[in-house]
Structure 1
Amino acid sequence: MYSEVARPHRVVVLALDGVYPFELGIPNRVFGTADGRYEVVTCSLDGRPVRSSSDFDIALAHDASALETADTVVIPPCEVVTILKDGLPQAVSDALAVIRPGARLVSICTGAIVVAAAGLLDDRPATTHWNFAERFGRAYPKVRVDPNVLYVDDGDILTSAGATAGVDLCLHLIRNDHGSEVANMVARRCVVPPWREGGQAQFIEQPVPPPAAAGTAAARQWALENLHQPVTMADLADRARMSGRTFARRFRDEVGMSPGRWLIQQRVFRARELLETTDLSVDRIAGEVGFATGASLRQHLHEAIGVSPLAYRRTFRTGSAVVGAASH
């Protein structure tokens, strides 16, 4: 159980008119499963019930003044057609203006449109539901929209794609705040995968391949079981019984990124787990996950999350004290 001495991180969810009930409940369900590490409250602009996108209203116990106390603010999707057409209502702009400096701002699905309409995403990367991405880009040309990813972490502002990508983003935040062990525990309790491969590309409507067409899933599974080997794209293509060009195209269609980028992502993710749960040296971990050297692991980990292996281990190490820190 989490220490009762530490103040829980306060997450405030802002429900706007036309809010989507499923996504509204994601922060409470995910953060609320982390054994008291987070306190989640939900508010409307004036503390009164809000109309949902379904056939019921939602009663809330807080008004927008709760945003002043937030460490993280979450904006779930709502009906955004009016915002795209007429801009952000002044009451919403006023509410967002009270968020304190240093607080994280998180959007789920089309909640990104609310953030963009407030001018907070200008010259920043972001994503939203793929079905709104083109309209989003036209309405807010200063935003660097990436329609292919499940979420974008730009430090103090994070955006996610549709529906369950909000779960992915919340787990990502827990992983960054408390490490993979806690995030994996929360994922198990919520009965969701702790880490999903790829991006939105795999969910975008596209022609269905013939039933006999081979996919890349078996090759990906083989790669995950052999990360300690110097797996190449040629190896993966051979496993899938495809030419390299066909495999690369099919892989990107299914996963939303190149095989090389996916392999690095999986190796870094496995390295993070080993840093948290073992006393292995950086060089040993590099070999276990398929990086040629400890220097290569250091480089890729820094590119992925901006810290060194030693700094990451000191932050998230569980159990006994770190052994052999000088090897880092």
Structure 2
Amino acid sequence: MITVALAVTDGMLHFELSLAYEVFGTDPGLADPWYGLVVCGPGAVRAGRFLLEPDHGLDRIRHADTVIVPGWADVDVEPPTGLVDAVRAAHEAGARVASLCTGAFVLAAAGLLDGRRATTHWAHTGDLAARHPKVRVDPDVLYVDDGSVLTSAGKAAAMDLCLHIVRLDHGSSIANAVARRLVVPPHRDGGQAQFVTTPVPAPGNHPLAALFPWVIERLDQPLTVEDLARQARMSSRNLARHFRSVTGTSPLRWLLTQRIRHAQELLETTDETIDAIAAATGMGTATTLRRHFNRTVGVPPDAYRRTFRSRTTARGAPVRR
């Protein structure tokens, strides 16, 4: 069981705290075991209008596998020394540490972001960079995975990072199932823009609403931008503009992400060969799949399959052929 510690103190943002609790603290019955969640703080703490009684003191987080630091409400105030010291000690003990939204200021105060690429809510990236010049602040992404230290932008991006952690630990299929239970998008790439000048429309209420499912059903086909534009009944230039508005990325990057995620699910749940999966995901050849998969996921398809197949087998889940 992976132990996840929520490190809390007065002034935490209740939204980020609650979504982390929902993802890691509620067993959806998809993996056995799920996470073991502990809430750690210096005593009763206040998050917005809510009063929270932690299960343990802050010293408990150094024994956790993963530490989550929720958003910090007032970035103009230095985070408590006890919290900063506890987060630093947990990382030194080998814990994976993740911040949600302005929780990055706590990680930065602990020195965990020095020399690393990191992000936070777009409205506070300038403050983070000015106060901690050793941090390579990226204001344009949803989240950053730097191995043992992860940071996210605000609100919905915090959910993206939590699902990314589930994906790392349990695989794409389980993470997608958690997303479906929470009624949120199953995956938004961390490199997507966190701030889009045109507001993202509600599902089903934008020019690409019918295009997305059409593409998902045809991932085995060699689709081009022109194919997508023709189906959407607009020019390639208009398609690119709408894609940037709705997803924060380009049509080709979005399409590649869908192909990679489909390949992950097939690797986790079937015995198909790499060649067959390359064909089923529109990659064409195993060489092309391996190149894109390794660059995107960080490991070759065969290694990914060995990792998550062993977990699936251990859970007793059926393997589709």
With the length of structure 1 as denominator, give the TM-score of the two structures.
Answer: 0.83
For structure 2, which runs of at least 5 residues remain unmatched after alignment? none
Instruction: Report deviation, 1:204.
Output: 4.0
Aligned to 2:14: 21
> Residues 277-316 of structure 1 correspond to what in structure 2 (within 5 A)?
277-316=269-308
Instruction: Give CA-to-partner distance per residue, 1:283-313, whole Å, 9 cap, x none.
Output: 1110111112101111111111221211111
Which whole-Å CA distance do the structure 1 matches of 2:149 and 2:286 have between them?
31
Which whole-Å CA distance do the structure 2 matches of 1:124 and 1:198 have between them?
16
Q: Which amino acid in the other structure matches residue 29 of structure 1?
A: E
Aligned to 1:161: 153
Counterpart contact for 1:50–1:58, Cα < 8 Å: yes
Aligned to 2:44: 49
Aligned to 1:65: 59
Relative to structure 1, the CA distance from residue 203 to residue 91 in structure 2 (aligned partners, 3 Å threshold; closer, same or farther) is same
Given the alignment of the two structures, is residue 110 of structure 1 paired with residue 102 of structure 2, yes or no? Answer: yes
For structure 1, which runs of at least 5 residues remain unmatched after alignment? 1-7
- SS of the counterpart of 1:81? coil
Relative to structure 1, the CA distance from residue 234 to residue 142 in structure 2 (aligned partners, 3 Å threshold; closer, same or farther) is farther
Between 1:21-30 and 1:10-19, the stretch displaced more is: 21-30
Instruction: Report deviation, 1:40.
Output: 0.6
Which whole-Å CA distance do the structure 1 matches of 2:303 and 2:106 have between them?
35
> Residues 42-191 of structure 1 correspond to what in structure 2 (within 5 A)?
42-44=39-41, 46=42, 48-52=43-47, 54-83=48-77, 87-99=78-90, 100-191=92-183
Instruction: Report deviation, 1:243.
Output: 2.8
Given the alignment of the two structures, is residue 253 of structure 1 paired with residue 250 of structure 2, yes or no? Answer: no
Which whole-Å CA distance do the structure 2 matches of 1:101 and 1:217 have between them?
46
Instruction: Give CA-to-partner distance per residue, 1:239-269, whole Å, 9 cap, x none.
Output: 2333323322332232112222211111100
Q: Which amino acid in the other structure matches residue 44 of structure 2?
A: P
Instruction: Give CA-to-partner distance per residue, 1:303-326, whole Å, 9 cap, x none.
Output: 1122121111111123599999xx
Q: CA RMSD in A?
A: 2.8
- SS of the counterpart of 1:98? helix
Counterpart contact for 1:88–1:114, Cα < 8 Å: yes
Which whole-Å CA distance do the structure 1 matches of 2:51 and 2:19 have between them?
17
Instruction: Give CA-to-partner distance per residue, 1:149-177, whole Å, 9 cap, x none.
Output: 32221111111121232222222112111
* Aligned residues between the structures: 308
Between 1:255-264 and 1:197-206, the stretch displaced more is: 197-206
Counterpart contact for 1:286–1:294, Cα < 8 Å: yes
Aligned to 1:5: none
Given the alignment of the two structures, is residue 11 of structure 1 paired with residue 4 of structure 2, yes or no? Answer: yes
Q: Which amino acid in the other structure matches residue 95 of structure 1?
A: A
Relative to structure 1, the CA distance from residue 217 to residue 137 in structure 2 (aligned partners, 3 Å threshold; closer, same or farther) is farther
Which whole-Å CA distance do the structure 2 matches of 1:281 and 1:126 have between them?
37
Given the alignment of the two structures, is residue 240 of structure 1 paired with residue 235 of structure 2, yes or no? Answer: no
Instruction: Report deviation, 1:63.
Output: 1.0
Counterpart contact for 2:114–2:134, Cα < 8 Å: yes
Counterpart contact for 2:88–2:112, Cα < 8 Å: no
- SS of the counterpart of 1:155? coil
Relative to structure 1, the CA distance from residue 38 to residue 214 in structure 2 (aligned partners, 3 Å threshold; closer, same or farther) is closer
Instruction: Give CA-to-partner distance per residue, 1:78-127, whole Å, 9 cap, x none.
Output: 223334xxx44433332223214321001111111221232221232222
Relative to structure 1, the CA distance from residue 218 to residue 58 in structure 2 (aligned partners, 3 Å threshold; closer, same or farther) is same
Relative to structure 1, the CA distance from residue 208 to residue 101 in structure 2 (aligned partners, 3 Å threshold; closer, same or farther) is closer
Instruction: Report deviation, 1:77.
Output: 0.6
Which whole-Å CA distance do the structure 2 matches of 1:230 and 1:113 have between them?
44
Counterpart contact for 2:153–2:194, Cα < 8 Å: no
